[in-house]
């Protein structure tokens, strides 16, 4: 993938969907599904960032910034994209930031070099006036990540910025897919799309 250097009631309803991706640690995936269900799923009418209304909200930062869930996210996303060649991961701030960092720390723990970057929604108007912070992406193969995908709009904003900056985006990976059009939108841009967990995995179907 990269270059190398030197608990609760909801548990019973958690199921794992079958997807034809690289082999994942099933125990870790099941534990992540349980944690997200307990920590991040909020029921009630909400308006999503895409403008769509839903009967539930997945506040995934409660998981991506959690001491037990974040390491699982980093580990599993690296497994999910193990057959893709990239040197850095990141996406649109704020949702993608802890996801990319979880991957960075997971890689470092295994002696693997993986950098991270942050994509702003717009070019910064002062200082260095950058839209992409962190490692230089020009000429690099990078992975675009997201915490939760609805329509794919957020991560595609990041993809556009990365391409304009001269990066080669190898694919898109997200933690939770709401199954509301993200895959179709992302694949329309010529990118492969993968996710760790579906609505079914979280008992939301």
For residue 4, is it within any domain? no
Is residue 77 within 8 Å of 175, Cβ to Cβ?
yes
Per-residue pLDDT at 203? 93
pLDDT at 11 over 90: no
For residue 165, is it within any domain? yes
Q: How far, CA to CA in Å, does 81 sit from each of 23, 71, 116, 149?
A: 10, 16, 15, 17
For residue 184, is it within any domain? yes
User: Is there a binding annotation on residue 178?
Assistant: yes
For residue 190, is it within any domain? yes
pLDDT, greater one: 2 or 204: 204
Count of CA atoms in the C-beta half-sphere (13 A) of 147? 24
User: Is there a binding annotation on residue 194?
Assistant: no
pLDDT at 75 over 60: yes
Q: Can you give the CATH number for the domain in which 131 is found?
A: 3.40.50.2020
User: Is there a binding annotation on residue 198?
Assistant: no
pLDDT at 119 over 90: yes
For residue 169, is it within any domain? yes
Strand 132-134 and strand 88-92: pairing?
Answer: unpaired
Q: How confident is the model at residue 22 (pLDDT cuts 50, 70, 90)?
A: confident
User: Is there a binding annotation on residue 150?
Assistant: yes
Is residue 7 within 8 Å of 30, Cβ to Cβ?
no
pLDDT, greater one: 180 or 104: 104
User: Is there a binding annotation on residue 149?
Assistant: yes
For residue 3, is it within any domain? no
Per-residue pLDDT at 53? 83
- Range of the structural domain that residue 146 is part of: 9-202
**What's the pTM?**
0.87
pLDDT at 9 over 70: no
User: Is there a binding annotation on residue 95?
Assistant: no
Q: In the chain, how many domains are there? A: 1
Q: Please give the average per-residue pLDDT across 160-177, as a whole number.
A: 98
For residue 124, is it within any domain? yes
Report the C-alpha gap between 90 and 71 in whole angstroms. 16
pLDDT at 151 over 80: yes
pLDDT, mean over the chain: 90
Which of 147, 165, 160 shows the shortest CA–CA distance to 191?
A: 160
For residue 1, is it within any domain? no
pLDDT, greater one: 57 or 82: 82
């Amino acid at each position: 993938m990269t270059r190398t250097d030197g608990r609760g009631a909801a548990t019973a309803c958690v199921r794992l969907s079958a997807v034809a991706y690289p082999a994942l640690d099933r125990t870790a995936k099941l534990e992540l599904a349980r944690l997200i269900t307990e920590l991040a799923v909020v029921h009630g009418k909400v308006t999503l960032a895409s403008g769509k209304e839903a009967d539930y909200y997945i506040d995934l930062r409660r998981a991506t910034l959690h001491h037990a869930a974040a390491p699982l996210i980093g580990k599993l996303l690296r497994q999910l994209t193990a057959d893709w060649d990239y040197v850095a991961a990141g996406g649109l701030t704020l949702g993608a930031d802890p996801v990319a960092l979880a991957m960075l720390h997971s890689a470092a723990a295994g002696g693997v070099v993986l950098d991270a970057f942050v994509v702003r929604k717009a070019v910064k108007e002062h200082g260095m006036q950058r839209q992409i912070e962190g490692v230089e992406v020009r000429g690099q193969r990078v992975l675009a990540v997201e915490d939760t995908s609805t329509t794919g709009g957020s991560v595609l904003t990041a993809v556009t910025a990365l391409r304009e900056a001269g990066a080669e985006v190898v694919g898109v990976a997200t933690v939770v897919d709401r199954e509301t059009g993200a895959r179709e939108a992302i694949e329309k841009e010529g990118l492969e799309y993968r996710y760790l967990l579906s609505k079914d995995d979280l008992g939301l179907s």
